[in-house]
Chain A
Amino acid sequence: GEDVEQSLFLSVREGDSSVINCTYTDSSSTYLYWYKQEPGAGLQLLTYIFSNMDMKQDQRLTVLLNKKDKHLSLRIADTQTGDSAIYFCAESIRDGQNFVFGPGTRLSVLP
C-alpha cells in the first residue's frame, strides 16, 4: 500500500545544515511536498517538486529527488532556531486524487 517514511527526530546546531530524509512508495506520484508545522499551528507548505525534476532550490531550502530509489530529501542551509518544527513529507497518489503524509520529523535546533 501507499506509505511514506521519515526518521522521527533530528538535532542540529544553529548555523549548520539540516537534512531531512523521506522515502515513499507510489512511483506514479506526480508531486512530492514538504510541509512545516510549528507548535500549535497548522501545516504550512514549504515547497514541492515535480516528479520529473531532480532538484529544486528555494533560498535556504534545497529539495533532492531520487526517483529510482523513491527518496526525497530537504536540506535547510544555515539552520536557525526559528526552523525548529515538525517537517512532513507527502506524496500525491492515484494521479493526484489524494495525499499521503509521513509521520513527520521533529527538528530541534540547538544554540
Chain B
Amino acid sequence: DSGVTQTPKHLITATGQRVTLRCSPRSGDLSVYWYQQSLDQGLQFLIQYYNGEERAKGNILERFSAQQFPDLHSELNLSSLELGDSALYFCASSPGYGNTIYFGEGSWLTVV
C-alpha cells in the first residue's frame, strides 16, 4: 500500500458526460501528479500541483481540469467525455521537488 488513495476504482459512463476522480496523497506529501495510462499511449503525464498551486502541465486536454484543495487532496475533472478517454488514471504524490513519487492504484474509466 503506497498510501495514495484514489476513488472511484472503476467508473463506466456515457460519451458526453462529466466525471470527477479524487485523490488523497500520502500523509505529508505536498505534490500531486495525475497520469493517464492507455494501451496505445502508455503513461502520459497530465498535470502536477504543489501545495495547492499548479506547477507543471503535460498533455492535458482542455476538456480536462484539476485542482488541489487546502487539505491537499486533488480532483481531476473530465468533461465532454469521448470513447478515447477510456483509460486508467493514476494519481501520485511526493513530499516535494526531487523526491520519489508514489502511485495510487488508479481509477479505471470506461466511456461507452
A interface residues, Cβ below 8 angstroms from B: 30-31, 33, 35, 41-45, 48, 88, 92, 95-101, 103-104
Which secondary structure dominates where chain B touches chain A? strand
Q: When A42-B103, A42-B104, A43-B90 are in contact, do A97 and B97 touch as well, CB less than 8 Å? A: yes
The reply to whether B100 and A30 contact each other, CB–CB distance below 8 Å, is no
Taking a contact as CB atoms closer than 8 A, the residue among B33, B55, B98, B105 that contacts A42 in the complex is B105
Interface residues on B, range: 20 to 34
Please, which residue of chain B has its CB at the minimum distance from the CB of A33? Answer: B100
Residues 1-20 of B contacting A (Cβ, < 8 Å):
2, 4
The 6 A-B pairs at the shortest CB distance, nearest first, are namely A96-B98, A42-B103, A43-B103, A96-B97, A42-B105, A103-B42
